[in-house]
Structure 1
Amino acid sequence: MKLVELKYLESYIQYRLDSYFKPKSKKVEPKMPPYAKWAIYVPEEIKKANLSNEEKILLLLAICPHIDSSLLDCVIQAMLESTGDFPQLGGIRGKNFRGFLPTGQTALFLLAGDDFKKKQQIYKFFEPEHFFEKCHILWIEEAPEGEPKMSGKLVLSDDYEDLMLLGRMGKPKFSMKFPAELIATEMEWNDLVLNDETMSQVLELQTWVTHGDTLLNDWGMGKKIKPGYRALFHGPPGTGKTLTANLLGKYTGKQVYRIDLSMVVSKFIGETEKNLSNLLAKAEKTGNILFGDECDALFGKRTSVRDAHDKYANQEVSYLLQRIENYQGLVILASNLKSNIDEAFVRRFQSIIHFPLPKAAERLQLWKNAFPSKVRLHADIDLGKIAQKYELSGAEIMNVVQYACLCALNDNKKTIHPSYITRGVLREFQKSGRIMR
């Protein structure tokens, strides 16, 4: 049984074709069924947008091939059999999908016909300021160079396809379109060892993730401050920046996606902006946390302009500053050195949190937490002295413990000997070019 809304779309297309080819038929335009009768899920933001009938038809036209692959072909082909080819109707065939795929030209014909003023109104549905573009719902795919803009395919976003068909958005999948991978941790807040000041600032972030919507919407602060929240984590490697981002997601019910900078940054002019824009647009729909590790390459200092490359590089950074500032969720960027980040960007952070190397007392806590419960420490091991003697980050301490445990397993023992730890510490010092004393 055909869905009520698609039955309407079929009737409307038939009405438009008859009006064009049989102007004397005087058929009555069918009435748009209310949302309450639609079988597909209509998101609240679409209901609140008070779309016109033309905009609703455009939405149905975009989703139709995803629900009923033969509908458009059947109603259009029946007319073309008696009238012949009709290029004004537009439409293309896909690579895998062989049915009729509507284009901007299809929308123009169905919604405006030969009325030029109406066509101008339809064009506005695809402008950046329109609701469809702002919410990344649907758009016209870029047409081949030299061809009319409206010959491009009408595209419904993957997010809204999932939302309208399933009633929920699917999880973003790692790809060139979404160069970020889902990360998680089994560790708890107690496993994160930070100094009191750093921990206090981290808990402030947790408060924002938990109550940000209330602050912006219920308390009306959304009119006074920019949406979203931007935090910079800076400090040496291995000091807990990634773990902190993971734990913030875990304890606020948000998923954390780590941006793959190698897929975002492009040597081609304009591609970096495009890649990041696609990533942020998709991530905004989920309300999840974006984490950019070692972000110096993406948000580094702007340089003096010596050639065209410098000019475009600076434009690129300026765009990134603006786009991140308008992102509506939590963005955490991590850098080993705060000084590597462009000053103009630093001013746009609501929170800048320093993750220093742990002091002796913190290192002792890390050593105590690191060893698995199934092993014993040799009587000659004094973790207090080890913590005092060796300045290691939390990640380096975990590397040493992993090495020591593997040594014990290799020796078929469950006791950690001092030599295991000493050799493990030596390995960590050698990796970073330090001299062990």
Structure 2
Amino acid sequence: MVNAVNLTTALNYLRSVVTGRLKVHFGQTEEIEVSGTAYYEDDSPFAAFIKTYQPSFDEYVLLLLALTPHLQPRFFNQLIAKFLPEGGDLPEFGGVKGASHRGIIPTGETAQFVLAGDELSKRIDIQSILSHEHWFSQKHILWLEPVHEGEPAMSGRLVLDAELVEQLTIGVVSRPRFSIDFPAEHIETAMEWSDLVLHPGTQRQIREIEHWITHNDTLLQDWGMGKRIKPGYRALFFGPPGTGKTLTATLLGKHTGKDVFRIDLSRVVSKYIGETEKNLSRLFDKAENKSWILFFDEADAIFGKRTDIRDAHDKYANQEVAYLLQRIESYNGLVILATNQRSNIDEAFIRRFQTIIHFPIPRTEERQAIWQRTLPTQIHIADDIDWQQIAARFEMTGASILNVVHYCAVEVLADKSRSLDRKRLESAILREYAKEGKVL
């Protein structure tokens, strides 16, 4: 409802423009008598967008042409039918049919017809607006869909960014879901910094990243450092599984108001030439200017040690790495890459990171704190359990300790004892050791 008034005004405005062009085309008048932009200056996202970008008449009409099929599928068919009451084709209008959409989807040719008619110089001006150099394309707002080789470029559909369509219609933008087109999963947690036990050195470096997130805009804009340093921040987390790398990234997002998306590079990398770059391109295009935290898990899947180029596969693998590096370095938010072993990452890539943070196996005192913070208060701890002794004897990660606590909690609930003694605890720990293939 928040955009309804402005959308109604916009559709009526576009109807006048398109009808005017059709009247000129069919010789009913000599010129279109519509100019400028028409919208209500209210608090709607539609009005905010127009006020922010201040589009020209041509740009405004282009936006409306691309938006209209999302609002009224038969809009263009009905207008053309008024001038061709007995049916017939109007190739000058352009437009295509979609796989599911049964109305006319405007193309670059539609824009040229509506805004320029047969005036060649004006048609070229419209083509310029739809080029890669225009702010429409630069800001990923509106672009032409690529066409088959040899076909006129302007026969491509006018494509309006899906998130912008949501913003201009329902007023909110939903988070993207994990899919083939968006190989990233939104992650969040109910935990707090107080629930995470890290080595003091690791904790200090994490605070440095938090400071960057908090003060980066001031540094780049108010202090004028934007012309000297790259806008983004790149960090490498390394350490054994279960030591808190993912949770740390999630908490950074939670406490700085940023969405965190986890990308498993082992699922993004494709054996087909060029597909990896396509997967990554879609991801970064979606993330651009969102201030998302991008967390790349299993980073060694693509940043592993390189070998000499022996065949075409090695050549394209290096191209994939170069492409990902370029996109990471140009991304204006926080990128975190995670790996189990720093030695798995090629040293040539290490200099690209502003910080490299080790997540070691927790020490005895840290394991003791994890045990005591993780156990539910509803469980009675028997007197024969000495947490310092348990922590010293059993070397475990935070994730492994959580698994043991989970198992013990379920067991004491099952037998209704609500009590945990040393025998049950050690049995659960040995069970976890066996699962991980470890022995005492």
Distance (whole Å) between structure 1 residues aligned to residue 47 and residue 249 of structure 2: 30
Deviation sequence 1:402-431 (CA, Å, 0-9, x none): 222233334332111222222222233233
Task: Tell me which of 20, 23, 29 is aligned to 1:18.
Answer: 23
Match of 1:339?
A: 343
Distance in 2, Cα, partners of 1:164 & 1:301: 46
| 2:195 corresponding residue in structure 1 | 191
Q: How many Å separate the matches in 2 of 1:177 and 1:15?
A: 40
Q: Distance in 1 between matches of 2:55 and 2:263?
A: 35
Structure 1 residues 98 and 28: alpha-carbon distance in aligned structure 2, compared to 1, 3 A threshold: closer
**Between 68-77 and 191-200, the greater mean CA deviation after superposition:** 68-77
Residue in 1 that maps onto 2:412: 408
| Distance of aligned partners of 1:49 and 1:299 in 2 relative to their CA distance in 1, 3 Å threshold | farther
Q: CA deviation at 1:79?
A: 2.5
SS in 1 for 2:411: helix
Alpha-carbon deviation of 1:167?
A: 3.5
Please state how far the C-alpha of 1:153 moved relative to its aligned partner.
1.8
Classify the secondary structure of the residue corresponding to 1:25: coil
Distance between the aligned counterparts of 2:280 and 2:419, measured in 1?
50
Cα pair 2:184 2:261 within 8 Å, conserved: yes
Q: Is the Cα–Cα contact under 8 Å of residues 21 and 32 in structure 2 kept in the other structure?
A: no
Question: Which residue number in structure 1 is paired with residue 309 of structure 2?
Answer: 305
Q: 1:303 to 1:125 in 2, by over 3 A?
A: farther
Q: CA deviation at 1:34?
A: 4.9
SS in 2 for 1:96: coil
Are the structure 2 counterparts of residues 371 and 338 from structure 1 closer, same or farther at C-alpha, using a change threshold of 3 Å?
same
**Which amino acid letter does the alignment assign opposite residue 247 of structure 2?**
L
Q: CA RMSD in A?
A: 2.5
Structure-2 change in CA distance of 1:346 and 1:34 (3 Å): farther
Q: CA deviation at 1:238?
A: 0.7
Amino acid in the other structure paired with 1:249:
G
Q: Aligned equivalents of 1:88 and 1:206: distance in 2? A: 56
8 A contact 2:262–2:295 mirrored in 1 = yes
Please list the CA deviations of residues 272-321 of structure 1 after superposition, one character each: whole Å capped at 9, or x if unmatched.
11111111222235322222222221333443221111111111110110
What does residue range 196-207 of structure 1 map to in structure 2 within 5 Å?
A: 196-207=200-211
**Alpha-carbon distance between aligned partners in 2 of 1:15 and 1:263, rounded to the nearest angstrom:** 52
Q: Give the C-alpha shift of residue 139 in structure 1.
A: 1.7
Residues 180 and 257, structure 1, Cα contact 8 Å, conserved in 2: yes
2:177 counterpart (165, 173, 179):
173
Specify which of 7, 11, 36 is matched with residue 6 of structure 1.
11
In 2: Cα distance, 1:372 partner to 1:185 partner: 18
Aligned to 2:66: 62
Relative to structure 1, the CA distance from residue 282 to residue 309 in structure 2 (aligned partners, 3 Å threshold; closer, same or farther) is same
Structure 1 residue 211 and structure 2 residue 226: aligned? Answer: no
Letter in 2 for 1:113: G
Distance 1:80 1:217 in 2: 56
Which range is displaced more, 415-424 or 43-52? 43-52
SS of the residue corresponding to residue 3 of structure 1 reads helix
State the Cα distance separating 1:53 from its structure 2 match: 2.3
46-55 vs 395-404, greater mean Cα deviation: 46-55
Q: Does 1:33 align with 2:8?
A: no
**Letter aligned with residue 387 of structure 1:** A
SS at match of 2:45: coil
**Counterparts in 2 of 1:12 and 1:283: CA distance versus 1, 3 Å:** same
The 8 Å contact of residues 253 and 293 in structure 2, kept in 1 or not, is answered as yes
Match status 1:396 vs 2:393: no
Shift in CA distance, 41/185, structure 1 to aligned 2, threshold 3 Å: closer
Q: How many residues align?
A: 435
Residue 147 (structure 1) aligned to one of 147, 151, 155: 151
Query: What TM-score comes out, normalization by structure 2 length?
Result: 0.91
Contact preservation (8 Å) 1:5, 1:38 = no
Quick one: distance in 2 between partners of 1:242 and 1:325? 21
Tell me the CA shift for residue 263 of structure 1.
4.5
2:17 is matched by which residue type in structure 1? Y
Could you tell me which amino acid in structure 1 is paired with residue 134 of structure 2?
H
> Displacement of 1:201 after TM fit?
1.0
My pick for the range that moved more, 367-376 or 406-415, is: 406-415
- Residue 363 of structure 1 deviates from its aligned partner by 1.0
Kept in 2: contact 1:233–1:354 (CA 8 A): yes
> 1: distance between equivalents of 2:46 and 2:330?
26
| Alignment of 1:92 onto 2:106 | no
**1:422 and 1:75, CA in 2 relative to 1: closer, same or farther beyond 3 A?**
same
Distance 1:39-1:120 versus aligned 2 partners, 3 A rule: farther
Which is worse superposed, 31-40 or 249-258?
31-40
Amino acid at match of 1:284: E
User: How far apart are 1:49 and its partner, in Å?
Assistant: 4.4
Unaligned runs of 5+ in 2: none
Stretch deviating more after TM superposition (121-130 or 391-400): 121-130
Q: Structure 2 residue aligned with 1:329, among 320, 330, 333?
A: 333
Q: Which position in structure 2 is the counterpart of 1:372?
A: 376
CA shift for structure 1 position 123? 2.9
Partner Cα distance (1:309, 1:321) in 2: 19
Distance 1:84 1:304 in 2: 63
CA deviation vs aligned residue, 1:44-91 (integer Å, no higher than 9, x gap) = 676454533222221111111122333222222323447832223221
Aligned counterparts of 2:72 and 2:353: Cα–Cα separation in 1: 47
Q: Partners of 1:224 and 1:199 in 2: how far apart?
A: 28
Q: Which amino acid aligns with 1:11?
A: S
Displacement of 1:203 after TM fit?
Answer: 1.2
Name the CA distance, whole Å, in 2 between partners of 1:39 and 1:364: 54
2:108 corresponds, among 100, 104, 110, to 104
Does residue 1:232 correspond to 2:267, yes or no? no
1:268 is displaced (CA, Å) by 1.8
SS at match of 1:358: coil
Given candidates 337, 349, 352, the residue that maps to 1:348 is: 352
Gaps spanning 5+ residues in structure 1: where? none
- When residues 113 and 303 of structure 1 are mapped into structure 2, their CA distance, relative to the original with a 3 A threshold, is farther
Q: Distance in 2 between matches of 1:394 and 1:367?
A: 9
Task: Write the distance in 1 (CA, Å) between the matches of 2:40 and 2:398.
Answer: 56
Q: 1:12 to 1:357 in 2, by over 3 A?
A: same
Whether contact under 8 Å (1:169, 1:286) holds in the other structure is no
Q: Does 1:296 align with 2:294?
A: no
Return the alpha-carbon distance in structure 2 between the equivalents of residues 324 and 83 of structure 1. Answer: 53
Report % sequence identity.
51
Bigger CA drift: 93-102 or 121-130?
121-130
Task: Compute the displacement of 1:270 (Å).
Answer: 1.4
